[in-house]
Structure 1
């Protein structure tokens, strides 16, 4: 990212500055609507604007506003609201020295007034003082005001490496907005946003722990944008799974069962993602000390029962479903595929299994990537009858 040097705030991109100012305006407009009802002043104060872009400010006598707020502060020197109104009046009256004096006092004194925080954000953006922008935006978000606009502003910081430190520093303090910011996929639409979030998470992991729900959106988007190796490495580092090269993770559904017991709904791409719906789905049950995956399907649609991205070198693979009778019905209903990004799916066809309690499928083509996705789904050419099956495990192995 190219930046222009500015004497007030260091490096800054024109695009980022324009967006930030636009966000500040959006924050102020939102804040004005939500904050107007909070004012509890006497009747003379109700006409005084409390945010810079208050539409009624143009119709008021700015000099009188300044005098009125000075009078208020003389009688109520601890009034944060009066100080904020003086700040706005000073700007309207074109008195920069007074505006600066009021703003300097507010930075340590008026943290409880949401309108004041909105105005201080505007000033910090104008002066390109990023640390102050974040300080006041963080304070405003903690009050539950203009939360979405503030999170969008934080996302701009995340895109600029030299400014990301302010975001990381705030996130390490576990603010109330941390989960909403990290878990949402709304700000992970471009590869640039995904890469920036990866750097944020890496910085957080350097001194702390990142929760599962804070990682779920990122790992999925990393895989979707072609960064499966990095996503896999992040998953291994944070979750410490028991993985083996060229084989499935959690082939006996033990981890999937534990997540189900604990009520965890988010599943990472490298773990079993189990689908359930009205026409088809899966259910994990414990039977005889082991986990059993039950499949059901009424024959409508083409359901994906289970899928997982696995680290596996390019090769010809065989998949075995354990704990299920190798019946003709199962061979006709269940299908298995291996998918590599940008390539046709490799269908595994039924083959002879080692025992009567297994159902085996083998490919006749080699995969061409290191992170294929395995899918267990209902064959589209099945006869449409109701179908049920129970598995105790799934195994992936290179064909001998």
Structure 2
């Protein structure tokens, strides 16, 4: 299996035609058309090694491999640590049919050119083809630290979670707190395939075995990905385990039914979808204050109709359920109403209202079907009925 993932990485590099990115410049045409050998000589002297390397690169891009090799060799003789010239010499030698010599030169260039993007891409592909896992991650790390070839490095890191040697090397790189670590976990949230969830959890185990700290946002990125993949029960179980949520609290629906936990939670603390969440745009508008019966959620009177005030992901079983709210405030038409939708379809469930068609806040019932509703999204939404009353929600229960 390991070789399969390394070959997949090599295929990504080859398929993207990004093993080395050489741009044809006007200099290539000049060099190719020139009949004056002095141009090639002067470009390869110790006085102009960088210019000579650029000329050799342009010649190779123009298809003049023999001339490129001559110029690159002259540069290397004059400046042995010029990684670009060494790389062009290797590629040109390979292009001329001497692959073993070209590979040897390229591997030497790779040791010189940790900041040369085309060389790093070649070395990354070479390591993948040789089934050498550690250099694959090392080269990808070198590229990612410089924000180069991000499509390739992102693909390499995500593929690495599925192969034990690559995964171990990835954990070692993450231990160094590289600048690309946040972007990696963002990719986990947005792009991790369903077939890679076991590998991702194995990576977390690798990190914990190394005593690496795992930020709450990193756990939540993965938990949110499980939700996106409709693996709701697994996501909730992992959240409960990693955030030490008591089983008694999970058994109650909704979680934190009296809003005590969200009231105590700092605005900048990340939260799971299985907790109450508030749109960041409503920070300061939606508040949680103490009242005669404990903490209460205040419903602002100046929000636009349809604004979601709070929401929470639930996992309720099939059958009829009843939601009841304890509210405080003036009597009149409620300023907000509860809604519940099935996931993954997002289809709203039909609500039966106990206190008349205008009250979706105090009491309502809904029927969860046997299929197509593995999880549910509970939302409290601002309503546009007038006159609306200013009130607060002290608690909500679902039975």
Query: Normalising TM by the smaller chain, what interval?
Result: 0.7 to 0.9
Matched, 1:99 2:102: yes
CA positional deviation for 1:71: 1.2
SS in 1 for 2:338: strand
Q: Deviations over 1:227-256 (max 9, x none)?
A: 111101111122223424133222343443
Matches for 1:14-93 after TM superposition, within 5 Å: 17-23=10-16, 25-26=17-18, 28-29=20-21, 41-49=49-57, 55-58=61-64, 61-73=67-79, 77-93=80-96
SS in 1 for 2:21: helix
Distance 1:372 1:17, change over 3 A: same
Structure 2 residue corresponding to 1:391, chosen from 383, 387, 393: 393
Structure 2 residue corresponding to 1:120, chosen from 123, 147, 153: 123
- Count matched residues: 366
Runs of 5+ consecutive residues of structure 2 not aligned to the other structure: 26-47
Q: Deviations over 1:158-177 (max 9, x none)?
A: 45567444434433433221
Q: Which residue of 2 aligns with 1:240?
A: 244
Whether the 8 Å CA contact 1:246–1:312 is kept in 2: the answer is no
Q: Deviations over 1:356-376 (max 9, x none)?
A: xxx631426467567443222
Q: Which residue of 1 aligns with 2:287?
A: 284
Matches for 1:257-276 after TM superposition, within 5 Å: 257-261=263-267, 263-264=268-269, 266-275=270-279
Structure 2 residue corresponding to 1:184, chosen from 187, 194, 199: 187
Q: Distance in 1 between matches of 2:129 and 2:71?
A: 23
Whether the 8 Å CA contact 2:232–2:374 is kept in 1: the answer is no
Whether the 8 Å CA contact 1:275–1:305 is kept in 2: the answer is yes
CA positional deviation for 1:110: 3.5
TM-score (norm 2): 0.73
Structure 1 residue corresponding to 2:380, chosen from 372, 376, 380: 376
Aligned-pair Cα RMSD in Å: 4.1
Q: Which residue of 1 aligns with 2:147?
A: 144
Matched, 1:349 2:353: yes
Whether the 8 Å CA contact 1:248–1:310 is kept in 2: the answer is yes
CA positional deviation for 1:292: 4.1
SS in 2 for 1:118: helix
CA positional deviation for 1:270: 0.5
Structure 1 residue corresponding to 2:114, chosen from 99, 111, 116: 111
CA positional deviation for 1:47: 0.7
Whether the 8 Å CA contact 2:53–2:71 is kept in 1: the answer is no
Q: Distance in 2 between matches of 1:363 and 1:288?
A: 27
Distance 1:125 1:364, change over 3 A: closer
CA positional deviation for 1:79: 4.3
Q: Distance in 1 between matches of 2:78 and 2:63?
A: 19
Q: Which residue of 2 aligns with 1:293?
A: 297
My pick for the range that moved more, 214-223 or 124-133, is 124-133
Matched, 1:153 2:156: yes
Q: Distance in 2 between matches of 1:80 and 1:258?
A: 57
Q: Deviations over 1:206-265 (max 9, x none)?
A: 54332232233432232232211110111112222342413322234344344444x23x
Q: Distance in 2 between matches of 1:170 and 1:361?
A: 53
Q: Distance in 2 between matches of 1:42 and 1:365?
A: 73
Structure 2 residue corresponding to 1:302, chosen from 300, 306, 316: 306
Q: Distance in 1 between matches of 2:280 and 2:390?
A: 13
Whether the 8 Å CA contact 2:263–2:295 is kept in 1: the answer is yes
Q: Distance in 2 between matches of 1:215 and 1:317?
A: 31
